[in-house]
Amino acid sequence: MSVTTAASRTSSAEPKAPAGRHDRPQKWGSPVTYFVALLFVGVCVAPVLYIVLGGFRTNAQITTDPAALPRPWVAGNYLGVLKSTVFWGEFANSLIVAVASTVGIVALGLMVSFVIARYDFRLKGAMYSLFAAGLMFPMVIAITPLYLVIKDLGLVDNLLGVIIPQIAFGLPTTVIILVPFLRAIPNEIEEAAAIDGMSRLGFFFRMVVPLSLPGVVTVGILGFIGSWNNYLLPLYILNSQANYTLPLGVQVFSSQYSTDTAKVLAFTSLAMLPALIFFSVFEKRIVGGLTGAVKG
């Protein structure tokens, strides 16, 4: 490959005129860059591929040659998992918990962020600090007494016992992401709405909710993936297999079938699929949301 001035920034000491860096369409950078980037991507993806491909192998293949490609490919493991009621039951539980948590996080978060962003009252700063301080209270620290609270409420081994705390713990991030978003809605829009006789609540439902959609989507995705992947809380709260979410299911399955590695790999990759699909669909939003959070 011809060394075509990898973005003039990287290339050299000469005080080259940066002319047309924006004009030139797409360029190839230096081979070294590609090599390192590929290496990094490979390291990131290989273990995931191992899990997915491992599900297409037989146990005999895995035992004799742990790090090889499927030869021949077998679909039996995946089909077996897809036919099992256990997998779909846990899948349904995960889905219920994730959807309910996401809806709760978005609804409660949007309402309280609206208050913090656009109302003027004495406790406003305190309210914001309360949620911001919530970032310091991760679930791991609160989990023992949280379990006791859930137990007193009679919600042990109940999906609600997972959903409600997840909403509560999702609120700090939500408030921190949404408040600046809602503040950015110009006052003129609110005034125009008021002149047209719209109440503040009307303004909230008819203007704020649609206008803050991008922020809401970011928050919703974070909530969904966080819930889908949550392990600690279900571990404490859910005890009967009928109520297990997928992370617990993966753990139980992998100890139950510890000799059937191929099946465990198939189960594991099917369990991660929804989060991956969700991520790839909304990838721009997640990465963009992080960018926004950093840039402010």
Partner 1 sequence: MSDTLGTGTADGRTAQGTPGAGATSVPPAPPRAAARRRGRARMRLEIAVLSAPAVITFVAFVIFPVALAAYYGFYQWKGYGEPTDWVGLNNYKLILTDPAFHDVLWHNGLILVLSLVIQGPLAIGLALLLNQKIRGRSTIRVLIFVPYIISEIIVGTGWGLMLQSNGAVNDLLRGMGLGSLEADWIADPDLAIWTLMAIITWKYMGFAVILMLAGLQSIPDEIFEAAQIDGASYWQIQRRITLPLLGPTIRIWAFLSIIGSLQLFDLVYIIWGQYVSGTAGTSTMAIYMLAQGRNAGNYGYGSAVAVVMFVISLVVALIYQRFVLRRDLKGAVTEGTV
Compute the least distance from the CB of residue 76 to partner 1, in Å: 19
Compute the least distance from the CB of residue 69 to partner 1, in Å: 12
Burial classification of residue 110, based on how many CB atoms lie within 10 Å of its CB (0-12 exposed, 13-18 middle, 19 or more buried): buried
Tokens of 115: 């208050």
C-alpha distances in angstroms, 64 versus 67, 89, 153, 171? 9, 34, 52, 49
* Count of all residues that appear for the chain in the document: 296
Of the candidates 58, 157, 180, 217, which one interacts with partner 1 according to CB under 8 A? 180
C-alpha distances in angstroms, 79 versus 210, 245, 277, 289? 42, 20, 20, 37
Contact region for partner 1 (CB under 8 A) — 71-79, 81-89, 209-217, 278-286?
278-286
| Phi, psi at 235, each rounded to 5° | -60, -40
Of the candidates 23, 136, 240, 259, which one interacts with partner 1 according to CB under 8 A? 136
Helix (H) or strand (E) holding 122: none
What interhelical angle do 159-183 and 124-133 show, nearest 10? 130
**Residues 239/137, Cβ–Cβ less than 8 Å:** no
Applying the rule CB under 8 A, the residues between 188 and 227 that interact with partner 1 are 190-191, 194-195, 200-201, 204, 225
Q: Which residues contact 6 (CB under 8 A, 6 or more apart)?
A: 27, 29, 30, 33
Of the candidates 131, 220, 223, 263, which one interacts with partner 1 according to CB under 8 A? 131
If the CB atoms of residues 74 and 156 are measured against partner 1, the closer one turns out to be: 156
Compute the least distance from the CB of residue 150 to partner 1, in Å: 9
Applying the rule CB under 8 A, the residues between 228 and 267 that interact with partner 1 are 228-232, 236, 247, 250-251, 254, 261, 264-265
Of the candidates 60, 145, 210, 240, which one interacts with partner 1 according to CB under 8 A? 145
Q: How many residues bind partner 1 (CB under 8 A)?
A: 124
Tokens of 74: 């077998």
C-alpha distances in angstroms, 173 versus 92, 126, 153, 154, 168? 26, 16, 26, 28, 10
If the CB atoms of residues 6 and 96 are measured against partner 1, the closer one turns out to be: 6
If the CB atoms of residues 85 and 291 are measured against partner 1, the closer one turns out to be: 291
Applying the rule CB under 8 A, the residues between 74 and 103 that interact with partner 1 are none
State the Cα–Cα distance between residues 87 and 250, nearest whole angstrom: 9
Compute the least distance from the CB of residue 27 to partner 1, in Å: 6
Applying the rule CB under 8 A, the residues between 106 and 125 that interact with partner 1 are 107-109, 111-112, 114-116, 118-121, 124-125
Applying the rule CB under 8 A, the residues between 14 and 33 that interact with partner 1 are 15-18, 21, 26-29, 33
Of the candidates 140, 210, 240, 259, which one interacts with partner 1 according to CB under 8 A? 140
Of the candidates 88, 137, 205, 257, which one interacts with partner 1 according to CB under 8 A? 137
Does 3 help bind partner 1 (rule: CB under 8 A)? no
State the Cα–Cα distance between residues 14 and 17, nearest whole angstrom: 9
Compute the least distance from the CB of residue 155 to partner 1, in Å: 11
First to last CA, the chain: 40
